[in-house]
């Protein structure tokens, strides 16, 4: 099988895994809070989900993104 040299890495990095994990936890908490009608937790989980994006961006800039200097796997 030939190797694709244009493979972007599909987000296989600490930065992307951290961002996606934060967002998934936030949506899980928000779903349960919505189900049990706890509005402040729903809104807090929405803020947490939005905060997951800048966390991923900051980690990427810190070198933990795909091909970053602190990334163990070089693509």
**What is the per-residue pLDDT across 52-62, written as a single tens digit (0 to 9) for each?**
999 999 999 99
Say if residue 74's pLDDT is above 60.
no
Q: Which residue range forms the structural domain that includes residue 40?
A: 14-64
Closest CA to 71 of 4, 1, 11: 11
Instruction: Give pTM, 2 decimals.
Output: 0.80
The predicted structure's pLDDT at residue 55: 97
The domain total for the chain is 1
In a domain? residue 75 = no
**Cβ–Cβ contacts within 10 Å for residue 5, how many?**
6
Q: What is the pLDDT of residue 68?
A: 84
Confirm whether 48 is domain-assigned. Answer: yes
Q: Is 69 within a domain?
A: no
**Is the pLDDT assigned to residue 33 strictly greater than 60?**
yes
Q: Is residue 37 part of a domain?
A: yes
**Please, which residues have CB within 8 angstroms of residue 19's CB and are 6 or more apart in sequence?**
52, 53, 55, 56, 57, 59
Q: Across residues 8-23, what is the average pLDDT?
A: 86
- In a domain, residue 4? The reply is no
Cβ-contact 26, 46 below 8 angstroms: yes
């Amino acid at each position: 099988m030939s190797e694709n040299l244009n493979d972007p890495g599909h987000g296989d990095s600490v930065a992307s895994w951290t961002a996606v994990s934060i967002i998934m936890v936030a949506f899980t908490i928000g779903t349960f809070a919505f189900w049990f009608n706890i509005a402040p937790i729903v809104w807090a989980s929405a803020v947490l989900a939005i905060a997951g994006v800048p966390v991923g961006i900051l980690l990427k800039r810190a070198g933990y993104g795909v091909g970053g200097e602190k990334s163990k796997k070089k693509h």
